[in-house]
Amino acid sequence: MSYQVIARKWRPQTFADLVGQPHISQTLLNALQFDRLPHALLFTGPRGTGKTSTARILAKALRCPHAVNFIPCHECGECKDIAAGSSLSVIEIDGASNNGVEDVRELRNSVNLMPSSGKYKIYIIDEVHMLSSSAFNALLKTLEEPPPHVLFIMATTEVQKIPNTILSRCQRFDFRRIPVRMVAESLMAICQAEGIEAEKEALWVVARQGEGSMRDSQSLLDQVITYCQGPVTLAGVTEALGLTDRQMLLDTLKALVERDQAKTIDIVERLFFSGYDSRIYVQDLLEELRHLLLVKITPAERLLQLVDLPDSEIEYLKEMSATLSEEDIHLLFDMALKGANDIPRSQDPKIMLEMLLLRMASAPRMEALQSWVQQGAQPPSSKPLPVVSTSPQAPPNPGPNDWRDLVQQIQGVNSIVGASLEHTCLLKTEGQVLHLGVTDKKKFLIDQLSSSDFQKKVNTYLKTFWGPGFSFVVEALGPCAQTAAQHSSLTPRALEEKIKEEKKQELLRQVQEHPLIKTTQSLFKTEIRAIKEIKL
């Protein structure tokens, strides 16, 4: 067969052809120009990012007799042999199939032999992490002190499997995943050179499926060109690769943002009619929600570094994100993430996905929820400032609640006196004499409450708030536990705590009955643990 696949035909031939690895190509060029090339190099990184291609480019730069500034001619026999992997002086070794100690011993024996031509003999060991421990040990000495005419270039996708003793003898170069934008531009250049008409959005989808690997993306491009047998369209790529339609994803996002449940149901029907995988669909939706958030919060100068999308789609997401808060997007993402975990375990993925999208479409906006909370929140409690009436009037038949109110007024004037009175209860009133009781646990207060100075202060407050003529006496309650408990519940402090608890329970009931809270609980399957007061 004479056909040559795109990945081989368009393999990089010079450092300038390398896509997405400028830090490596520049470093190697500088090393060549300033004669600082190490004797052992380790290329590591994901598949399809240019490790073996870079090794061959470096080999041609060293061995091409017509190279100018280490740029090979690509026309001589040496360049063609290296590109084809058949050069006698550039030995390519597959570490997966030549991983034994005997293979390394054979390599060591051939190292000392001079190259048949040129100055350098180059060994390219691919998938070097597949060598056995014995093979690595046999390679150590040769790798540390090779003959001056030998260069070792090792490539691996799993650098963590290489012993530190090998790593310490190499200069390491880390290849990065290639950004989707760069891959898409490269695929467009290939299509133009091959005379193939292709939609930009279609090539973006192909590049995204390559996951940062140029070789994988080029192989996928070969596949979709064969499938389409004509212009490469977005619909053709989606069908050929069995992917979720990008437009359907954007339609889903729009329905969720607009809270359109009817449109959401239609999308689910379209999704299953088209035969898309629910798990892949939800994963794609998660990625699209991530893009939506980044488009909203990322400055324009950094956006292209974080979001690999066509410019038209970025603008579409910008318009959509303007109607949402960051919290709204976080809410949708959290719900989709939970669905992504639940759908694979479901017996009926369609129903699970349908319910997930409907819950997301009916999720309340955080702005509305916060607005309701602020409207329903009570103002922060504070001790009332004492109001001195010009005509004080005592309650007709003072009881425990009247005594509680009076103690609160006294606390506003004198917190120390009020704190002592908090532990007393009003037992009875005889005329204008108040009989105050102190439980056995607080009997140490009796001496303080009975002192003339304390009584003088309290009588002044009684005159101020209830009028002239009032006085009080203090007595200790009996040690009977039942009597003590009964009167302890009538102290101002106990009454205040009781009132607070009743208000808290009433507020909890109101919150639980509110429609927004009910909707939120049904969406997240949660319960209210506590209510925190907002300080306005």
In this structure, the answer to whether residues 230 and 303 fall within a common structural domain is no
- In one-letter notation, the amino acid at residue 379 is P
Domain that holds residue 430: 394-536
Domain of 474, CATH number, reads 3.30.300.180
- 209 in any annotated domain: yes
Residue 428 parent element (H or E): strand 424-430
- The reply to whether 387 falls in a domain is no
Helix (H, G, I), strand (E, B) or coil at 363: coil
Assess whether 300 and 411 both reside in one domain.
no
First to last CA, the chain: 78
* 410 and 299 share one domain: no
φ/ψ of residue 381, rounded to 5: -70, 145
* H or E element that contains 474: strand 471-476
Q: Has residue 389 been placed in a domain?
A: no
Q: In angstroms, rounded to a whole number, what is the distance separating the alpha carbons of residues 410 and 462?
A: 9
Query: Does residue 384 belong to any structural domain of this protein?
Result: no
Q: How many CA atoms, within 13 angstroms, populate the side-chain half-sphere of residue 501?
A: 6
Q: For the stretch 515-534, what's the b/e string if a residue is b when 16 or more beta carbons lie within 10 angstroms of its beta carbon?
A: eebeebeeeeeeeeeeeeee
Check: CB of residue 463 under 8 Å from CB of residue 457: no
Partners of 425 in the β-ladder: 437
CATH of the domain at 26: 3.40.50.300
Which pLDDT value is given to residue 492?
76
Q: What is the mean pLDDT of each run of 10 residues along the chain (536 residues)?
A: 84 91 94 92 94 94 90 89 87 86 85 84 92 88 87 94 92 94 94 93 91 93 92 90 82 91 89 82 92 91 84 89 90 92 87 90 74 53 45 75 85 82 84 82 81 85 84 76 53 76 78 76 72 61
Same domain for 21 and 165?
yes
The full length of the chain comes to 536
Question: Are 124 and 52 within 8 A, CB to CB?
Answer: yes
In a domain, residue 1? The reply is no
Neighbours of 482 (CB within 10 A): 8
pLDDT score for 534 = 61
Provide the CATH number for the domain around residue 322.
Answer: 1.20.272.10
Look at residue 417 and tell me if it is in a domain: yes
Q: Are residues 399 and 443 in the same domain?
A: yes
pTM of this structure? 0.62
- Per the structure, how many domains does the chain have? 4
Domain-embedded: residue 318: yes
Looking at the fold, whether 117 and 185 belong to one and the same domain comes out as no
User: Are 227 and 305 found together in one domain?
Assistant: no
* Residue after which a domain boundary falls, among 118, 146, 174: 174
Last-in-domain residue among 373, 402, 432: 373
Residues 192 and 327 in one domain: no
Question: CB under 8 Å, gap of 24 or more: what pairs does 226-231 form?
Answer: 230/197, 231/196, 231/197, 231/198, 231/199
> Are 157 and 35 within one domain?
yes
**Distance between CA 477 and CA 491 in Å, rounded?**
13
Residues 169, 49, single domain; the answer is yes
Residues 6+ apart with CB under 8 A from 381: none
Task: Show which of 216, 241, 266 is a domain's final residue.
Answer: 241
Tell me the CATH number at 219: 1.10.8.60
Distance CA 308, CA 285 (A): 15
Task: Look at residue 161 in the predicted model and tell me its pLDDT.
Answer: 92
The confidence score (pLDDT) of residue 40 equals 93
* Edge-to-edge strands, sheet with 433-438: 424-430, 433-438, 471-476
**Distance separating alpha carbons of residues 245 and 251, to the nearest angstrom:** 10
Residue whose tokens read 């009247």: 402
Same domain, 129 and 15: yes
Q: Where do runs of H (alpha helix) occur along 242-325?
A: 246-257, 261-273, 278-297, 300-306, 311-321
d(CA 517, CA 510): 10
- Cβ atoms 343, 282 nearer than 8 A: yes
Q: Which residues contact 417 (CB under 8 A, 6 or more apart)?
A: 410, 411, 454, 457, 458, 461
| Domain identity same for 112 and 62 | yes
Residue 385 belongs to some domain of the structure: no
